[in-house]
Amino acid sequence: MNTIYPPFLYAARYSVEQIGFFFALFGVLQLAARLPAGALYAAGRAKILFAGFVALFVFSTVGFAFASDSAPILILTMLHGFAFGGIGTVMLAWAIELKPAHQSHGSAMGWYTASLSAGYSLGNFSGGWLADNFGYALAFAGIGLAPALSLLLSLTLPNPQPSAQAEPKSARAPSWRERAASARAVITPNLMLATLIAFYLNFLDDGFSTFFPIFGLSAGLTLTFIGLLKSVKSLTATILRAGAGAIFNVVNFKWLNNTLIVVWALAVFLVPLIREAWVFVILFIVIGVCRALTRVTSATMIAEEKANDRRGIGLASGIYNAGLDVGTFAGPLVSGLIASATDIPTMFRVIPIGLLAIYFAAVVWVQRARVPKPAAA
């Protein structure tokens, strides 16, 4: 969809402003789905909830093959974004709960996030190829029917069993105050730190990716080479995520996470000094390593926290994924504002330093929040 949706609208004579508005709706509705999907998630309900979101996803994708007017396109866009947000929220919680007992959380989350990056890589290529060779209608139908395979495979998976810590059923429905208190109990310092990391990685990556092509052209790079750099980064991420479990057996993922955050910020900070093509290749490999593993470490933090007490796991997944969505919005927006007030090279230096300050301030806060308070006399 990311590859063919904008040119589809452009070929239909929509203006650049209209294309930007329609495309932004994907993200807005994706974010809107996170918390409702997380709140609805529960043991015994994962399969039917996933099936519902995938069915809506298939319908809203294939529907573009038959849409030509603004109203149907607007409705399908909103449904597509909402369905995608719901799918991601349910999938993360379900993947955590289906982890085999003998497998580490790092390995499980490594395979989970590797499948996401591999799917993006294959989807972008296949969507473009179908559109080039068969037109937009068949391209939407082709990529829209592919998730039906996910729906069939999901039927072979078991529903998660109720947590051992599940609260006993009450004769009366819980009040809104009790529901709010239960939701607040899910929002732990560890969850907030993992969500901040999710926000950090999408903020930095999307802000950087939005403006690097402009900087690259001014530095003498071609668009073909810039596209190659992005492919190198994606390939690095897919390979590393699949082997994340083995990496975490050697290095503590919490220590590694702090190191990756600093190295990634330093790599972006150094971009304005680079001019040689081979150095850019090395830089994008480094960025691919950092983004790949921080995505795994942050998801692993959620998996470990919910390993023994799965109450509120859907809500925790929704909050974490919302952090990714907000970073996707805020990164290009804030980076653009800073670049317009200064220039792109200066923005590449301001953004990583500011994010580092926010991140390590949050780490200090989490460490203090984890220290148990002395009991009253």
Q: How many domains does the chain have?
A: 1
What confidence category does residue 157 fall into, taking pLDDT thresholds of 50, 70 and 90?
confident
Domain interval for residue 306: 5-158+183-370
State the pLDDT at residue 286. Answer: 94
What confidence category does residue 137 fall into, taking pLDDT thresholds of 50, 70 and 90?
very high
Please state the pTM of the whole predicted model: 0.74
Length of the chain (residues): 377
Per-residue model confidence as pLDDT tens digits over 29-66: 988 998 899 888 886 788 889 999 999 999 999 999 99
What confidence category does residue 166 fall into, taking pLDDT thresholds of 50, 70 and 90?
very low
Q: What is the DSSP letter of 68?
A: -
State the pLDDT at residue 140. Answer: 93
**In a domain? residue 220:** yes
Cβ count near 102 (within 10 Å): 6
**In a domain? residue 279:** yes
What confidence category does residue 309 fall into, taking pLDDT thresholds of 50, 70 and 90?
low
What DSSP element (H or E) covers 312? none
Tell me the C-alpha to C-alpha distance, in Å, between residue 93 and each of 17, 58, 90, 217.
36, 21, 5, 42
**In a domain? residue 78:** yes
Average pLDDT over residues 336-361: 91
Distance between CA atoms of residues 333 and 50, nearest Å: 32
State the pLDDT at residue 195. Answer: 87
**In a domain? residue 70:** yes
pLDDT at 141 over 90: yes
Per-residue model confidence as pLDDT tens digits over 183-234: 566 678 888 888 888 899 889 988 888 788 888 888 888 877 887 888 788 8
Tell me the C-alpha to C-alpha distance, in Å, between residue 82 and each of 10, 52, 86, 142, 316.
23, 12, 6, 20, 18
**In a domain? residue 174:** no
> Which string of b and e fits 255-273 if b means at least 16 CB within 10 Å?
ebbeebbeebbebbbebbe
What's the mean pLDDT when you consider all of the chain?
83
Amino acid at position 262, single letter: V
**In a domain? residue 176:** no
Percent of the chain past pLDDT 70, that is, above it, reads 88
State the pLDDT at residue 41. Answer: 87
Average pLDDT over residues 299-317: 76
Q: 70: domain CATH number? A: 1.20.1250.20
pLDDT at 375 over 80: no
Higher pLDDT among residues 2 and 229, named by residue: 229
**In a domain? residue 105:** yes
**In a domain? residue 306:** yes
What confidence category does residue 172 fall into, taking pLDDT thresholds of 50, 70 and 90?
low
